[in-house]
Amino acid sequence: MSKIKILVVDDSPFIHKAITRALNTTENYEICGIAKNGKEGVELYMTLNPDLVTMDITMPIMDGLEASKSIIGQDPAAKIVMLSALGDEELINSAQLIGIKSFIQKPFKNDEFIAIIESAYRG
């Protein structure tokens, strides 16, 4: 079985490490790229064609909602898991309107993160 390729889009090096640590608990995943803002995330998505994206909401240059809207606009089948330190219902509603179905609040536990990634990937 080939590994599930994941693109990480987040401006925090701490979150990059936390996601890497969580994904390293199983052999099913591979981080194929890391973007530090939404604009980079959109560009890398088109280049790398990942199986799934973890997307922060609040980032410089282009936020996660705009980046997700751009990605889904170009690839309606894109699987995006939205990460946020904010539990804001309005942001979650906006993300759902864009087409994002999976959310996780930071900080997260490794097993909780893996369960959400699995669920998002499997649909």
Give the pLDDT confidence score for residue 54 in this predicted structure. Answer: 96
What is the count of structural domains for the chain?
1
> For residues 9 and 33, is the Cβ–Cβ distance under 8 A?
no
For the segment 40-57, what is each residue's pLDDT rounded down to a tens digit? 999 999 999 999 999 998
With 0-12 / 13-18 / 19 or more C-beta atoms within 10 angstroms meaning exposed / middle / buried, residue 42 is: buried
Q: How many CB atoms sit inside 10 A of residue 38's CB?
A: 28
Give the pLDDT confidence score for residue 112 in this predicted structure. Answer: 92
For the segment 104-116, what is each residue's pLDDT rounded down to a tens digit? 888 889 999 999 9
Predicted model pTM: 0.93
Which residues form the domain of 33? 4-122
Q: Kindly report the CATH number assigned to the domain that includes residue 102.
A: 3.40.50.2300
